[in-house]
């Protein structure tokens, strides 16, 4: 008999199961209305255009698409990503781009090349659960920085850095999802982006900018990415096809300084040799044919409708003492219930009423968020979302009055 528990590495022992991944199982049960996952609407997947691109790839590039590829990614896709990023103001060449198996792998690789056990990493409070998992796996010591409706409070960050420095420690990086943040739905203001860069330069701490949602803006003016404002190579930029095309592609990219990218490539080699050349060729074809932009327009129109429907259902049904964010884009909003309500505990009742959400605690590495929940509005139709909010509001009202 093997005692696996005794064999697990310290790193493996730090791994915990995630509420989100458990919840994804519930999404597949047809009778549960789930606000839980971060799923795009599957009815909007551009199936016909994919079919067309797959055919082209198999006709024109069968040998390269079905073969192993280079770890850095298909050269034509790297060039295309670099070219498009330059148009968005990011200073880069194809050599600064690594194609990865989506942003989650990017987070894992960033952690793998930068974090030693106990290293300090700053994250937003709340922060993306998958990033917390990835950083946890490499035994990071995460310090959450509070946010308001302008995003991360950068003055608090600066104070924390100074305190840390005075105790002889130096943080490894600052992780942020600055635009339509997962889970809070808030966006870091332009002014704070500049301040964040100033802090990064002053203390020589890199920023990891995770930007899966920035193209999904439903109102307001676009704000430049932190990477595009960076003149000193302090930003590591992560993007993905998951939310603008399909998460099933498992395709994303990292843009970073030469030295960092070279190390990431070595780390990735050990992880999976290369990202699927087949999906890279399909995404390349999709992009070259000019199909992304019109598809993003469709997503924006539909998700805006869903967001609006969700917000008005919340206005209509939720009790007065519940607060929530009003995101200008992305897939999520964040609700804060009265302090006495424990959303983890309440989840059982919600599931009995066939409605699911993610309770706030998973988004805080060191506790917090007990009375909060993340709600996704992109997956279901506005009608289903409305019914879900109605069910949820009944449960909240019962809890609040208790
Ligand atoms: C902020 C953030 N980063 C990364 C990811 C991972 O996305 P993917 O691995 O599909 O690119 C997600 C997914 O929800 C996310 O919200």
pLDDT for the residue 14:
78
Strands, E, within 312-370: which ranges?
323-324, 332-336, 355-356, 358-359
Residues contacting residue 316 through CB under 8 Å, at least 6 positions apart: none
Which atom of ligand 1 is nearest to 106's Cα?
9
What is the 209 CA–ligand 1 centroid distance (Å)? 12
Q: Which residues in 126-153 are b (16+ Cβ under 10 Å) and which e?
A: bbbbbbbbbbbbbbbbbbbbebeeebbb
Phi, psi of 320 (to 5 degrees): -60, -35
Q: Can you point out the beta strands (E) in 263-389?
A: 323-324, 332-336, 355-356, 358-359, 372-376
> Which residue, judged by its Cα, is nearest atom 16 of ligand 1?
182
Asked if residue 206 has its Cβ within 6 Å of ligand 1, the reply is: no
* Minimum-distance ligand 1 atom for the alpha carbon of 181: 1
Residue 115: its pLDDT value, please?
97
CA separation for the pair 370, 333 (Å, rounded):
16
For the chain, the first-to-last Cα distance in angstroms comes to 50
Tell which CATH architecture fits domain 59-288: 3-Layer(aba) Sandwich (3.40)
Beta-sheet strands, E only, within 126-274 = 141-148, 151-152, 173-176, 207-210, 235-240, 252-255
Please list the residue range(s) of the chain that carry CATH number 3.40.640.10: 59-288
What architecture is the 8-46+293-401 domain classified under in CATH?
Answer: Alpha-Beta Complex (3.90)
The CA 316 to ligand 1 mean position distance, Å, reads 31
| Residue nearest (by alpha carbon) to ligand 1 atom 14 | 38
pTM for the model stands at: 0.96
Distance 247 CA to ligand 1 centre (A): 9
Chunked in runs of 10, what are the mean pLDDT values of the chain (402 residues)?
Answer: 91 74 64 90 97 98 97 98 96 97 98 97 97 94 97 98 94 98 97 98 97 97 97 97 97 98 98 98 98 98 98 96 96 96 91 92 93 96 96 94 80
* Residue to mutate, 23, 128, 254, ligand 1, most ligand atoms under 8 Å from C-beta: 128
- The verdict on the CB of residue 240 being under 6 Å from ligand 1 is yes
Which residue spans of the chain are classified as CATH 3.90.1150.10? 8-46+293-401
Vertex 94, ends 105 and 204: CA angle to 5°?
Answer: 65
- Spatial distance between the Cα atoms of 43 and 352, rounded to a whole number of angstroms: 27
Q: Return the pLDDT at 28.
A: 61
225 CA from centroid of ligand 1 (Å): 17
Please name the residue ranges forming H helices in 252-291: 258-272, 277-288
In short, whether 212's Cβ falls inside 6 Å of ligand 1 is yes
CA angle 91, 95, 99 (to 5 degrees): 100
pLDDT of residue 22: 65
């Amino acid at each position: 008999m093997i005692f696996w528990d005794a064999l697990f590495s310290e790193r493996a022992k730090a791994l915990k199961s995630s509420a989100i991944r458990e919840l994804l199982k519930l999404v597949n049960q047809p009778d549960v209305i789930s606000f839980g996952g971060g799923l795009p609407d599957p009815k909007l997947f551009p199936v016909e255009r994919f079919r067309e691109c797959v055919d082209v790839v198999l006709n024109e590039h069968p040998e390269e698409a079905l073969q192993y590829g280079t770890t850095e990614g298909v050269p034509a896709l790297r060039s295309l990503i670099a070219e498009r990023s330059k148009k968005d103001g990011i200073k880069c060449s194809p050599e600064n781009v690594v194609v990865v198996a989506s942003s989650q792998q990017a987070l894992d690789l960033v952690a793998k090349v930068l974090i030693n056990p106990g290293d300090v990493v700053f994250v937003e409070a709340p922060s993306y659960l998958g990033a917390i998992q990835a950083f946890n796996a490499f035994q990071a010591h995460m310090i959450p920085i509070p946010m308001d409706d302008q995003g991360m409070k950068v003055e608090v960050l600066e104070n924390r850095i100074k305190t840390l420095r005075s105790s002889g420690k130096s943080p490894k990086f600052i992780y942020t999802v600055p635009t339509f943040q997962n889970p809070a739905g808030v966006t870091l203001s332009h002014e704070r982006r500049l301040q964040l860069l100033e802090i990064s330069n002053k203390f020589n701490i890199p920023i990891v900018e995770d930007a899966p949602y920035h193209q999904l803006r439903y109102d307001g003016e676009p704000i430049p990415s932190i990477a595009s404002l960076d003149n000193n190579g302090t930003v590591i930029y992560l993007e993905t096809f998951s939310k603008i095309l399909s998460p099933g592609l498992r395709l994303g990219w990292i843009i970073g300084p030469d030295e960092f990218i070279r190390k990431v490539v070595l780390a990735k080699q050990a992880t999976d040799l290369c990202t699927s050349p087949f999906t890279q060729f399909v995404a390349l074809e999709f992009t070259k044919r000019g199909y992304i932009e019109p598809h993003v327009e469709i997503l924006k129109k539909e998700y805006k409708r869903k967001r609006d429907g969700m917000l008005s259902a919340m206005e209509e049904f939720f009790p007065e003492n519940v607060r929530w964010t009003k995101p200008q884009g992305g897939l999520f909003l964040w609700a804060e219930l009265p302090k006495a309500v424990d959303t983890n505990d309440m989840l059982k009742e919600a599931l009995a009423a066939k409605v699911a959400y993610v309770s706030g605690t998973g988004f805080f590495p060191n506790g917090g968020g007990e009375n909060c929940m993340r709600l996704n509005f992109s997956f279901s139709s506005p009608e289903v979302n409305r019914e879900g909010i109605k069910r949820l509001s009944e449960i909240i009202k019962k809890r609040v009055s208790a």
